[in-house]
Structure 1
Amino acid sequence: MADGITTSDRETVAARLLGGSVKRSYEPVVDIDWDAPLDPAKLFLPEKVISLYGTELWRRMPHEQRRELSRQELANVLSAGIWFENLLNRMLLRDLLGEDPTARHSHYALTEMGDECRHMVMFGRLIDRIGARPYWPRGLGRLAVLGLPLFIHRSFVWVAALIGEEIFDALQRRIMDADELEPVVSRMMRIHVTEEARHIRFAREELARTADELHWLERQYTGNLMGIGAPLFTGLFTNRRMYERAGLDGKEAKRQARNNPHFLEATRYGFASLGRFLDEVGMMQPVSRAMWRHWGFLP
């Protein structure tokens, strides 16, 4: 069995995560200083993770426009976080109908849903605090939000959770202490990283526990269909509307971002740890591997 994880280990891990939740959980409404002034010299995301960093468009942009682009890119990512965590909670709550309500595993799933609800509040508060407007999914992203719960079950729930959490988590860990970052954003990221670490551990342990037991058909279904995350994330990170709100030509900005080596390096960095884990548990199947590589997440 993958990583030697047994059913009894499942309860042990859940109990440990519950203990961690008691010791280190946050209430963003009071644990973030929402009234602290914003510094016009600082950015809302560090330069190195802004999608246009290093491009011809970037070189021509004054500081004020770079700051506005960082505001829009942050609002875009936070908006995606809201609808992803909404989607994850719906899947977890549905699957709890078949779980033992006395099990520590069930209790931690409910605890995680509570965390995610607070995160959605935190993201919404931060979008408002930085003076931005939310972005709502369109096209493939909207279909995913509305339709994926109909097709995602069992192992796919945990794969989807990891895809939605780990890419952002890796990037947050890389940038949350950057000197040029607005303090309120840095504080939000530190809270999110602390609590998401437990969520990622929960999903990884569950997937590793069940990976060797999967029927061949389920492995192929999950392992190949998960490649849909690649175009979804690329579309998210290069959302044309955020460039337009920053006063740029949306079509040209999107083209330059998708061909930007700095942007491609950031996406590969965000996916690296998750990609290795999915390989280790046998969930990286040929179609999804080709899709992640085509969209720049794998070298």
Structure 2
Amino acid sequence: MVSELINADNRFLEILNRLTNKSIDDYYNPYKLFEWPDRLPEEMWWMSPELTTTYGTLLAGKFSEKELYALSKFESINFYSLNVHGIRELLIEVTRRIHTKGFETPSEFFHHFIGEENEHMWFFAEFCLRYGRKIYRQPAGASAAIPRSAVESLLVFCRILIFEELVDHFNSRMAADDRLDDTIRAINRIHHQDESRHIAFGRELVTMLFAKVKSTATELELAEIADYLRRYLTYSFESLYNPQVYQDAGLADPLAVRQELLASPARAELEQNVFRKTSKFLKKIGVM
């Protein structure tokens, strides 16, 4: 049982206690923390330019700085929309497991995790609705079925970890980017603060879940797990390339724009940078 593995690991218990205490010490009220100006300046970066999907591509050279600012606005709304959808998914999955057999030990931390993620979803949605007047739809394929089997929880928490590490890559950089408006930097800074705890917890939990699965899985089953996670990494990254974003930014033939950007060498470089730490971790524990 997962519970036997977790209860036998004193290191995991120590980490859980430390992260739980950190959550309590760092608690804030998001409904009072943020100041929401009526509008944000249009002619400035809404996302660090190096993180935008056109950065370093031939297409970017065809746009004026003003057009690139506009594109960064809609890319930022898409990024925060992805956060809303991703958080909703992880809340559903973690809530399904809190105080259930096999997850007795981490359930105390799950309470803090659920509370913090719910608040994250609120301020990301608030940003999208205030400054973009919309939350972009969830990309097709986001609800791809996770096999209902002994590996279900492993895949669930791998997906959560991949999602959190992707967004934290963006959060940590935008929080420190003085080219961005203070409101944008603030929501990225506070999310990075919380996600650092969630990622630390997620890595420990995934390591333990995989060790348990590996002890009984066949080589074929392990290969299927690795293949599933590779496909999910690709899906997660490509969700940043939203044709609706390009349409809202006034670009002609947004589907063709997406295909051109996905085929660009700059895309491969950005994906490698975004998932560098994630891929290294998954390879280190042997799941990929």
TM score, norm. by length of structure 2: 0.87
**Matched AA of 2:205:** E
For each residue in 1:121-163, what CA deviation from the matched residue of structure 2 results, as whole angstroms up to 9, or x when unmatched? 011011123234211124323x33xx44867722112211111
What displacement does 1:97 show?
4.5
Residue 237 of structure 1 aligns to a residue whose secondary structure is coil
Flag the 1:70–1:106 CA change in 2: closer, same or farther, 3 A: same
Which of 265, 279, 282 does residue 278 from structure 1 map onto? Answer: 282
CA contact (8 A) 1:44 1:182 kept: yes
Report the alpha carbon displacement of residue 104 of structure 1 after superposing the two structures with TM: 5.5
Q: Which residue of 2 aligns with 1:192?
A: 191
Give the match's secondary structure for 1:216: coil
Structure 1's 92 and 149: CA in aligned 2 closer, same or farther, altered over 3 A? farther
* 1:274 maps to amino acid: T
Aligned-residue CA RMSD (Å): 2.4
> Counterparts of 1:65 and 1:132 in 2: how far apart (Å)?
19
2:233 alignment counterpart = 230
* 2:18 corresponds to 1:19: no
Q: Does structure 1 residue 124 correspond to structure 2 residue 125?
A: yes
Indicate the structure whose relative CO is greater, using CA pairs within 8 Å and at least 6 residues apart: 1
Partners of 2:140 and 2:162 in 1: how far apart?
19
2:101, 2:235 → 1: CA distance? 31
Instruction: Name the stretch that deviates more: 76-85 or 222-231.
Output: 222-231
Distance in 2, matches of 1:180 and 1:46, equals: 7
Matching residue's letter, 1:262: A
Unpaired runs of 5+ in structure 2?
none
Shift of 1:220: 3.9
Confirm or deny: 8 A CA contact 1:72 1:132 kept in the other structure: no
- 2:257 aligned with 1:253: yes
Rounded Cα–Cα distance in structure 2 between residues aligned with 1:16 and 1:202: 10
Q: Which residue is equivalent to 2:9?
A: 7
Q: Deviations over 1:34-73 (max 9, x none)?
A: 1275233421101111111233332222333212211111
- The SS at the match of 2:212 is coil
Find the counterpart in structure 1 of residue 115 from structure 2. Answer: 114
- What residue in structure 2 maps to residue 178 of structure 1? 177
Sequence identity, in percent? 22
Q: Which ranges in structure 1 are unaligned for 5 or more consecutive residues?
A: 285-299
Residue 155 of structure 2: aligned partner: 156
Counterpart-to-counterpart distance in 1, 2:41 and 2:109: 39
Moved more, 80-89 or 256-265: 256-265
Change (3 A) 1:138 1:38: closer
- Give 1:175 deviation, angstroms: 3.2
Q: Number of aligned residue pairs: give it.
A: 277
List aligned pairs for 1:58-77, cutoff 5 A: 58-77=60-79
Q: Equivalents in 2 of 1:276, 1:84: separation in Å?
A: 22
Q: CA deviation at 1:11?
A: 2.3
AA matched with 1:130: Y
Tell me how far 1:182 sits from its aligned partner: 1.9
Does the 8 Å contact 1:171/1:269 carry over to 2? Answer: no
**Contact kept in structure 1, 2:157 and 2:206, CA below 8 Å:** yes
Distance 1:68 1:41 in 2: 7
The aligned residue for residue 203 of structure 2 is 204
Question: 68, 84, 97: which is aligned to 2:86?
Answer: 84
Amino acid at match of 2:63: M
Paired residues of 1:48 and 1:262 also in contact (CA < 8 A): no
Q: CA offsets per residue over residues 244-292 of structure 1, 9 Å max, x none?
A: 11101202321331133333322111101011110111100xxxxxxxx
Query: Within 1, Cα distance between the matches of 2:147 and 2:19?
Result: 26
Return the offset for 1:17: 0.8
In structure 1, the partner of 2:166 is 167
- Quick check: 2:46–2:69 contact (8 Å CA) kept in 1? yes
User: What amino acid maps onto 1:271 in structure 2?
Assistant: F
My pick for the range that moved more, 117-126 or 90-99, is 90-99
Q: Are the equivalent residues in 2 in contact too, given 1:55–1:257 (CA < 8 A)? A: yes
* Alignment partners' CA distance in 2, 1:52 and 1:26: 36
Q: CA deviation at 1:166?
A: 0.5
For residues 136 and 113 of structure 1, what CA distance do their matches in structure 2 show? 23
